[in-house]
Amino acid sequence: MTLDPHAPVIIGVGQITHRAAGLDDALEPSVLMARAIERACADAGLAGVPTPDALRVVGLLSWRYRDPARFVATELGISPRECGLSTMGGNSPQTLVNITAGEIQRGELDLAILTGAEAWRTRMRARKVGAELPWTTVAEDVVPDRVLGEDLAMNHPGEQARGLVAPVQIYPMFETAIRAAAGETVEDHHAKISALWARFSAVAADNEYAWIREAKTAVDIGTAGPTNRMIGFPYPKLMNSNNDVDQGAALIICSAAKAESLGVPRDQWVFVHAGSDCHEHAFVSERWDFADTPAIRTGGKAALDLAGIGIDDVGIVDLYSCFPSAVQLGAASLGLNLDDQLTRTGGLSFAGGPWNNYVMHAIATVVTDVRKSAESWGFTWANGGYATKHAFGIYATHPPINGFRHAYPQAEIDALPRRTLATPVEACGPSVIDAYSVMHDRDGRPETALAACRTTEGRRAWGISTDGDLALAMCSDEWVGRAVTLTDDGTLHAG
């Protein structure tokens, strides 16, 4: 087969995990990105950092550069034609790959560098002691050349009014819905997800870039205590994404012709075969079923179909893994078994959860693993929001027959049934719980019960209770499917 000169190929990957002893030896995010890029260039066998057509950065939270790519370029001494920045969301690294691969395939780019980093650990350390970090400051009018990705509002005003705005509140609700749908007891299901997360921890222990490299047992993970406090039932701290990290990653992606002209050995090449992007109904309140993610099913199949393979053909998988419910939703929607190896990094609890940039690390690791197993396909699923925005990528060492192909099956997903959100006054009266969580205080005491309810008309309603006895009861028994009563201010009452 004649090699398509425009075929997009990843030639270099780099990762950095920086464990600063204090504030003086900490690195700001732009420097972390620059170091990751230098490592990606070394991985490709390049003598230095080539000037790319585009330098694209994943949107970050730990420092406000406004146009971070420009400061990374300055750090490296390069002048890219385009300095780009992604929209926010954990799907962004794979979305950037998909956008960039498509532009390379169409001959619009020859070489691009994708990167991202967070220094949240250092930022929080500085905040704790009231220190000012001597990092780059930027004028208000600085803007990137281009913003890439879909900027999607993911919090319904009704959710915001009830204070439902955080992943630590929502992902535990998915977990209780998954548990009830499987017909498992609270105890058995907790043991199941503790064992799942222990397998992820074991992978992180062997990952040189992971933040927590001590393998945790299922008992370590599942048992709440002073060092592993319960946050949102049923998740203790070790089942939550760990954003207390300083990490960066980078990918160098170019056309096959450019890879040849740079002299990159063929055993370093990993082709981007296919990708897809899509999202669930944007607001959690509108989801039909908290235990199902049809957009993952549709988007994942679309990417696999474009690559001409099925999920059973894939040997190297990394599923987004901010919380155990995300992995279970992804695996079920994609046709994977929970006993399969579903992470190559160890996941966001153990490898590290640098906000939107985790999947840059996942892709770098998948690319490395695909190189080692030349006959294997690599598959990544990236997720943003509350299992909301999804991006998928298919990778292999051989070139695609029909070039890189991309799908955006959003119209099909938008046509699926959705619920409407009732106001507290409209929802006053009997309801049934579809999913719930119990938020705990910093001492590990049940504090606030949060429940996604379904009214007698089938509308979504949110019930909240600060009754300590009710919150405690909801941590021991199954409450999904229970009949409850909502008052006109949205307070949840048993029975």
Q: Residue 187: its pLDDT value, please?
A: 97
Cα dihedral 207/210/216/218 (nearest 10): -90
Q: Report the pLDDT value the prediction gives residue 2, as an integer from 0 to 100.
A: 86
Angle, CA 200 vertex, CA 194 and CA 203 arms, to 5°: 145
Residue 495 has pLDDT above 90, yes or no: no
pLDDT above 80: residue 1: no
Grade residue 390 by pLDDT with cuts at 50, 70 and 90. very high
Task: Write the CA distances from 323 to 117, 167, 169, 350, 439, integer angstroms.
Answer: 21, 9, 11, 11, 15
Closest by CA position to 353, among listed 185, 460, 445, 238: 238
How sure is the predictor about 98, in pLDDT bands with cuts at 50, 70 and 90? very high
Q: Any alpha helices (H) in 130-185, and if so which ranges? A: 157-161, 167-182
- Among 486, 489, 481, CA closest to 179: 481
The reported pTM is 0.98
Return d(Cα 324, Cα 346) in angstroms, integer.
Answer: 12
Rounded average pLDDT over 214-228 = 97
Q: How far apart are CA 370 and CA 365, in angstroms?
A: 9
pLDDT digits (tens, 9 = 90+) for 295-312: 999 999 999 999 999 999
Q: What is the pLDDT of residues 166-196, one digit of tens each?
A: 999 999 999 999 999 999 999 999 999 999 9
Give the pair of three-digit tokens for residue 357: 């940039």
For residue 412, is pLDDT > 80? Answer: yes
Which helix (H) or strand (E) is 250 found in, with range? strand 246-255
Average pLDDT taken over every residue of the chain: 97
Percent of the chain with pLDDT over 70: 100
Tens digits of residue pLDDT in 14-53: 999 999 999 999 999 999 999 999 999 999 999 999 999 9
Report the pLDDT averaged over residues 434-444: 96
Rounded-to-integer distance, Cα 485 and Cα 334, Å: 36
**Structure tokens belonging to residue 305:** 């179909």
Among left, alpha and beta (phi > 0; psi -120 to 50; other), residue 487 is beta
The C-alpha angle 190, 194, 200, rounded to 5 degrees, equals 150
Cross-strand bridge partners of residue 17: 247
Q: Are 286 and 421 in contact (CB under 8 A)?
A: yes
What tokens were used for 177? 């819905």
